[in-house]
Amino acid sequence: MFARLFGRRAAPTEAQTLFARIVEQARSPDFYTHCGVPDSFDGRFEMVALHAFLVLHRLKGAEGASAKAVAQDLVDILFADIDRTFRELGAADIGVGRRVQKVAEAVYGRIAAYDQALAAPEPALAEAIQRNVYGTVAEAQRPGHDGPATMADYVRRCVVGLAAAPDSALIAGTIRFAAPPGRQD
């Protein structure tokens, strides 16, 4: 109703499809069991942010205005979902905007950190993942294997796989992430 009143169009199906795939992949149990990602609100947020980064990173390299529009629509859907989540968790209306703004800053910070880390020498990506994905995990609770290095390898496999996909498929909402660590696909 308000969208019609204020002229906002509904989010395109392509961006909705991309967001659904991001959330589906981020919820894969393999990240939480095999890689030691915290199975918590923070851990799940970090996985959504990481997968959103992967898609936005790929869209940034796509040709044409369609890719830019889909990327913006995807960001809008992501923040609308964050807003909805805070409201479902019982945040007062007056505080939701402030919380969403903090989360938006965190998401953009992660996107910048992951983008820089991909362009940097090898340990940078694992270090960025350590700070963000594993930042809330106490040292004693970290997995016996190297979760950040495993996740960095996964991210690099996703980047390569997404780069191989045609722009038209991605813009149409078709995306295929690499298999999560520990899964044989």
| Average pLDDT taken over every residue of the chain | 84
C-alpha to C-alpha distance for 59 and 67, rounded to whole angstroms? 6
Residue-level pLDDT at 4: 41
Residue-level pLDDT at 96: 60
> Using one digit for the tens of pLDDT, what is the confidence trace for 4-26?
444 444 446 889 999 999 999 99
> Using one digit for the tens of pLDDT, what is the confidence trace for 61-106?
888 888 999 999 999 999 888 777 766 766 656 666 677 678 788 8
Asked whether 148 and 127 are in contact (CB, 8 A), the reply is yes
C-alpha to C-alpha distance for 172 and 55, rounded to whole angstroms? 13
Put residue 10 in one of left, alpha, beta given phi > 0 → left and psi -120 to 50 → alpha: beta
Residue-level pLDDT at 125: 97
Asked whether 51 and 176 are in contact (CB, 8 A), the reply is no
Q: Give the Cα-Cα-Cα angle 27, 36, 81 (nearest 5 degrees).
A: 30
Cβ neighbours of residue 64 closer than 8 Å, sequence gap 6 or more? 167, 171
> Using one digit for the tens of pLDDT, what is the confidence trace for 136-146?
765 545 545 58
- pTM here is 0.85
Residue-level pLDDT at 16: 93
- Per-residue pLDDT, averaged over 123-149, amounts to 78
pLDDT band at 177 (very low <50, low <70, confident <90, very high): very high
